[in-house]
Amino acid sequence: MDHFLYRDGALYAEDVPISEIAAAVGTPFYVYSSATLLRHFKLFDEALEGTDHLVCYAMKAASNQAILKTLAQAGAGMDVVSQGEYLRAKAAGVPGEKIVFSGVGKTAEEIRVALTGGIRQFNVESEPEMAVINTVALELGTVAPITIRVNPDVDAKTHAKIATGKSENKFGIPISRAKEVYALAASLPGLEVVGIDCHIGSQLTDLEPFRLAYEKVAELTEVLRAEGHNIRRLDLGGGLGIPYERSNEAPPLPVEYGQLIKDTLGHLGCEIEIEPGRLIAGNAGLMISKVIYVKSGEGRDFLIVDGAMNDLIRPAMYEAHHDIVPVNEPAPGTESQPYDIVGPVCETGDTFAKQRALAPLSAGDLIAFRSAGAYGAVMASEYNSRPLIPEVLVHEDQFAVIRQRPTFDEMINRDTIPEWL
């Protein structure tokens, strides 16, 4: 469920007409619903009710400080994967003890910044990384709390570019080597082992891969405790999918996911951490674009819109589907026609959809790309010297621009010309 609904023939974000925002900020732009963000966070929080737990929002999905603050005020922790994300979370008021630092390539500087500013734990991905964390912690005269990410060799059956739990993926250590790696961690004086980390991929629409992975984590917990390790925290990552195509069967609900966690891991008495990102932010955001031209081609019509692959790269990068709807609701009985929906970037890949059935549209009409809140604005670029598009947050009948569109001068003046030119 989201809070983007038609009223009297017009698409609204909560209690604000989309057309009103478009008139104020121009197109294209992203718009997020506070109510949807909070609803999705609370679904995860309630799904783990009765367990000691922390829901850490995976901020790589959408990292605007206004979004972070909205979730943090509701009690969310944060999962970060870079120094920039760590500093964003801190700037949004998230305390260090609620920030988990993931990622395969943490640098000594990133580790130093997090240890100095406060960190809940590092999710360690390799022995070389473990050694660097130990060195930096000793230099600072502190001890770094860590989990070790184990790769359970479970096929998440998701897109190859977002699968992380198979043996050939770059993430974590093989679960078969966990005993020796945990023994090494225990021998390093700058580290405190607090638990196990596991994340098998993104956009999972079936609970069975989670079950297989968590059963392996449960078994490993017992083995490591028998070896003398105080395993008291299990970081289970995120990955639960969202329904990008509304006509398709819906993915499992957070409450079903939460019950699976309780069934497979509840007997261990561990604190549970989960790191949802896409399911919290995905359906909480739209990208709004305007039709520039309707072009007749050989056997097909094209909608050329002012949004492009640099604004929303998921269709070009992942062959991803986004439902696309007109901002002005078609009259009942209006006959649809197929369009190829494309942007103005000079790439054939700048195609959002092929032969998508929509009510007839004309130049100047607004369209909305649904489920664009996750991995939309954060993956945008200035390719073709197109300025980054604004982000807007709605709260009931109010809206605020939470990231301005830079002017062309601001964008161009970031370049520095050498003296010899």
Residue with structure tokens 């008495």? Answer: 269
CA dist 183 to 4, 131, 132, 187, 188, Å?
51, 13, 17, 6, 9
Alpha-carbon distance 81 to 356, whole Å? 36
What is the Cα–Cα distance from 235 to 265, expressed in whole angstroms? 11
Residue partners of 222: CB distance under 8 A and separation at least 6: 268
Q: Which of 56, 198, 270, 346 is catalytic?
A: 346
Known catalytic membership, residue 198:
no
Residues with catalytic roles: 346
